[in-house]
């Protein structure tokens, strides 16, 4: 700690009118412990102290200081905090304290998070309502031909479709599109072992609307006239009521009239672990459908 301060003035000098009160106050404030100043009421602005304190008091305090030796540094912590506090109050009387600012910021952040959290919950809830509690969709749709993008089927509507269903290995297990080998030029021979899908366009007087090729078995769709001759009708059913496999219910409701899409449906939304016994669909089969939505009631 610092060395003890020494008397600066003698008694005569102190009593003299030449020595202003301010100097004594300053000396004491510079050298005395905070608690001493507090007791002697010598804290604060020198001018103010000078107004309130008499010279006799100041001299007494001066002498008392040296007697009690309660100099600056003998009570360090309190002093520092007091000094800081008093400095602050003196030097920035009109600013908002930093703590209050912090609190406000904290509150704002909290509200912000609060809102976002509950919005997130709300979105989850909406998703739940719309899609059920089964998590992500178990089918994948790729649009082959766009529809009118206006007429989307609602739950309970009658829909009519042409479709072809095949397994992952390309075996066609079902279709309601009549097959025909007449009126078509046979497609080019493919290399053996090739199992890639391709879309071949056959030109001729009877241009079919669409030709799709699945693996080893070929299915051709016919023109409208040829279809009529074969007297088959598109499959008609009420969508969204669980009458068909879930992949169809969900997928078709995202299609618009006239759209042709490819639906790849996971087994969970098709025939699951059992498949269709005694039929071409084995257990845990992923099904691939090409569906043309012809009409929406």
Contact 45, 79 (CB under 8 A): no
Residue 145 contacts by C-beta under 8 Å, 6 or more apart in sequence? Answer: 210, 258, 259, 260, 261, 292
User: x/- contact string, 145-164, with another protein (CB under 8 A)?
Assistant: ------------------x-
Question: Which residue in the set 202, 226, 244, 294 belongs to the binding site for another protein (CB under 8 A)?
Answer: 244
User: Per rule CB under 8 A, is residue 69 in the interface with another protein?
Assistant: no
Q: Which one, 62 or 248, has the nearer CB to another protein?
A: 248
Contacts 24+ apart (CB under 8 A), 245-248: 245/269, 245/270, 245/271, 245/287, 246/138, 246/270, 247/138, 247/139, 247/287, 247/289, 248/289, 248/291
Contact 199, 213 (CB under 8 A): yes
- The β-bridge relationship of strands 235-238 and 260-265 is unpaired
Picking from 291, 179, 201, the residue whose alpha carbon sits closest to that of residue 210 is: 201
User: Per rule CB under 8 A, is residue 277 in the interface with another protein?
Assistant: yes
User: Per rule CB under 8 A, is residue 229 in the interface with another protein?
Assistant: yes
Q: What is the Cα–Cα distance from 103 to 76, expressed in whole angstroms?
A: 30
User: Per rule CB under 8 A, is residue 165 in the interface with another protein?
Assistant: yes
DSSP category for residue 268? G
User: What's the closest the beta carbon of residue 268 comes to another protein, in angstroms?
Assistant: 10
Q: Which one, 72 or 159, has the nearer CB to another protein?
A: 159
Question: Which residue in the set 55, 64, 190, 280 belongs to the binding site for another protein (CB under 8 A)?
Answer: 280
Q: Which one, 46 or 294, has the nearer CB to another protein?
A: 294
Question: Which residue in the set 68, 116, 228, 284 belongs to the binding site for another protein (CB under 8 A)?
Answer: 228
User: What's the closest the beta carbon of residue 189 comes to another protein, in angstroms?
Assistant: 27
User: Per rule CB under 8 A, is residue 243 in the interface with another protein?
Assistant: yes
Q: Which two tokens stand for residue 223?
A: 């023109």
Q: Which one, 139 or 289, has the nearer CB to another protein?
A: 289
User: Per rule CB under 8 A, is residue 274 in the interface with another protein?
Assistant: yes
Number of residues assigned to the chain: 297
Q: What is the Cα–Cα distance from 158 to 252, expressed in whole angstroms?
A: 11
Size of the site for another protein (CB under 8 A): 28
Q: Which one, 30 or 297, has the nearer CB to another protein?
A: 297
User: Per rule CB under 8 A, is residue 34 in the interface with another protein?
Assistant: no
User: What's the closest the beta carbon of residue 249 comes to another protein, in angstroms?
Assistant: 8
DSSP category for residue 269? G
Q: Give the footprint of another protein on this chain (CB under 8 A).
A: 163, 165, 173-174, 176, 228-229, 231, 233, 235, 237, 242-246, 248, 271-274, 276-281, 289
């Amino acid at each position: 700690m610092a060395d003890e301060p020494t008397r600066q003035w003698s008694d005569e000098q102190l009593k003299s009118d030449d020595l202003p009160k301010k100097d004594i106050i300053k000396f004491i404030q510079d050298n005395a412990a905070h608690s001493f100043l507090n007791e002697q009421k010598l804290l604060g602005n020198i001018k103010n102290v000078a107004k309130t304190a008499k010279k006799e008091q100041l001299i007494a305090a001066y002498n008392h200081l040296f007697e009690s030796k309660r100099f600056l540094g003998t009570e360090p912590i309190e002093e520092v905090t007091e000094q800081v506090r008093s400095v602050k109050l003196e030097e920035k009387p009109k600013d908002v304290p930093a703590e209050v600012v912090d609190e406000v910021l904290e509150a704002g952040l909290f509200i912000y998070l609060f809102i976002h959290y509950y919005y997130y919950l709300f979105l989850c809830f909406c998703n739940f309502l719309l899609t059920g509690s089964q998590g992500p969709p178990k089918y994948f749709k790729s649009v082959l031909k766009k529809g009118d993008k206006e007429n989307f089927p609602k739950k309970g509507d009658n829909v009519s479709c042409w479709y072809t269903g095949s397994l992952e290995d390309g075996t066609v297990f079902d279709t309601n599109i009549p097959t025909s080998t007449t009126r078509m030029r046979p497609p080019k021979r493919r290399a053996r072992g090739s199992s890639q899908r391709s879309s071949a366009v056959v030109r001729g007087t009877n241009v079919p609307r669409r030709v799709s090729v699945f693996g080893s078995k070929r299915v051709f769709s016919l023109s409208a006239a040829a279809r009529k001759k074969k007297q088959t009708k598109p499959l008609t059913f009420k969508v969204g009521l669980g009458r068909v496999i879930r992949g169809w219910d969900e997928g078709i409701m995202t299609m618009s009239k006239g759209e042709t899409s490819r639906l790849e449906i996971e087994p969970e939304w098709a025939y699951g672990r059992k498949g269709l016994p005694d039929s071409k669909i084995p257990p845990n089969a992923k099904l691939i459908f090409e569906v043309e939505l012809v009409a929406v009631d």
